Amino acid sequence: MRKSTIILAASVFAASMAFSASTFAEEAKTEFTVGICNYVDDASLNQIVDNIESRLEELGEEKGVTFTVDYDNCNADAAVMDQIITQFQADNVDLMVGVATPVAMAMQAATEDTGIPVVFSAVSDPVGAQIVESMDAPGANLTGTSDALDTEAIFNLILAQNPEAKKIGLLYDLGQDASTAAIESAKAFCEEKGLEVVEATGTTNDEVLLAAQSLAADGVDAVFTPSDNTIMTAELSIYETFIDAGIPHYTGADSFALNGAFVGYGVDYANLGRETADMIAEILVDGADPASTKVRTFDNGIATVNTETCEALGFDLEETKTAFEPLCTQVVEIVTAESFGELAE
């Protein structure tokens, strides 16, 4: 009896010491490595990465920890993307960040059996892309932020600017998962309102330019593009085509307007980046479980108007703002540039 008690006590003591050591090790961890892979070099996604990095620096100071960021860009190359993710795993990063849907999907597949936490950013339809089980309960080792687009709100802007519009062009990349739900929503809206739809797609800059030219030749009254990274990358090459044809281009992010589109409508990507960083810290420092951490969505109420394009199209800026303001939380003015950093210089 006494011997059993001693053994039990010793076992309890050993287990207690092991638990204490483990707990202490977890509590003592103050350095974390975060691997970020960006899908493509464009203004919106770069803005997200910049704000993740700056916010992690702030959070590190607040929480007394150090976040080391290992960043790379796969430039829409699936093979390079896989190499980056494999390297993150080899380097034993504490957490991966996938910026845009294709990267999030690749990280989901790569970490399924490893348990490495993943925080995605700018995934427009996480459930539709089968990245998470639900927005409220992701159900796996990943969660993140979504730039889900309110397509109907954009079309309300189109009709506020041009109530007589009859034919709408849809410009997108068929291979972009981020575009699927938004395009279906756009078609449903147009059908309900009796608007004719003309679709044009492209997967490269040259194809997108040809698609834009075909929409101009078809005489559409306006063109809609969701938060499609392929079209975003090509925007600087196509915006003058639409201006020359007198066609306003309405898009799903402020970065399109920065690159010449008439209107970009959607989330504040700087804020999306900061919120992504907050989720990273909650998981690594505060111990939040990705599987039960809600995917964060944002108010899609900011309309960004390119004032140069507005003038070139023959629209009165003040009249445009007056038409848009009741439909938005904010109307922002911008001029054409290649990046947001260029505007700050």
Q: Tell me the per-residue pLDDT of 287-321, one tens digit each, with 9 for 90 and over.
A: 999 999 999 998 778 999 999 999 999 999 999 99
Residues 230-270: pLDDT tens digits? 999 999 999 999 999 999 999 999 999 999 999 999 888 88
Using the structure block, give the residue that is written with the tokens 């998981």.
Answer: 283
Tell me the mean pLDDT in the region 91-95: 97
Whether the pLDDT of residue 153 is over 90: the answer is yes
Q: Output DSSP code: residue 327.
A: G
Residues 180-197: pLDDT tens digits? 889 999 999 999 999 999
User: Which CATH number applies to 151-267+300-344: 3.20.20.70, 3.40.50.920, 3.40.50.2300, 1.10.10.10?
Assistant: 3.40.50.2300
Q: Where are the domains of the chain?
A: 31-147+269-292, 151-267+300-344
CA distances from 39 to 62, 121, 195, 340 (A): 30, 11, 34, 18
Whether the pLDDT of residue 10 is over 90: the answer is no
Under the banding of pLDDT at 50, 70 and 90, the label for residue 27 is: low
The pTM of the full predicted model, rounded to 2 decimals, is 0.77
Residues 127-136: pLDDT tens digits? 989 999 999 9
- Greater confidence (299 vs 344) lies with 299
- Separation between Cα atoms, residue 199 and residue 94, nearest integer Å: 43
* DSSP string computed for 66-89: EEEEEEEE-TT-HHHHHHHHHHHH
Using the structure block, give the residue that is written with the tokens 């005489």.
Answer: 219
Chain-centroid distance, C-alpha 286: 24
pLDDT of residue 21: 41
Q: Which of 4-8, 46-50, 281-285 has the lowest mean pLDDT?
A: 4-8
Q: In this structure, are residues 63 and 140 in contact, taking their beta carbons and an 8 Å threshold?
A: no
Residues 271-290: pLDDT tens digits? 999 999 999 999 999 999 99
Please determine whether the domains at 31-147+269-292 and 151-267+300-344 fall in the same fold group of CATH: yes
Question: Rg of the Cα trace of the chain?
Answer: 24
- Separation between Cα atoms, residue 164 and residue 309, nearest integer Å: 20
Q: Where do the H-state alpha helices sit in the chain?
A: 2-28, 43-63, 78-90, 101-111, 151-161, 177-193, 205-218, 229-244, 254-258, 269-284, 307-312, 317-324, 340-344
Under the banding of pLDDT at 50, 70 and 90, the label for residue 345 is: low
pLDDT of residue 79: 98
* Count of C-beta atoms within a 10 Å radius of residue 176: 23
Percent of all residues in the chain with a pLDDT value above 70, rounded to a whole number: 90
CATH architecture for segment(s) 31-147+269-292: 3-Layer(aba) Sandwich (3.40)
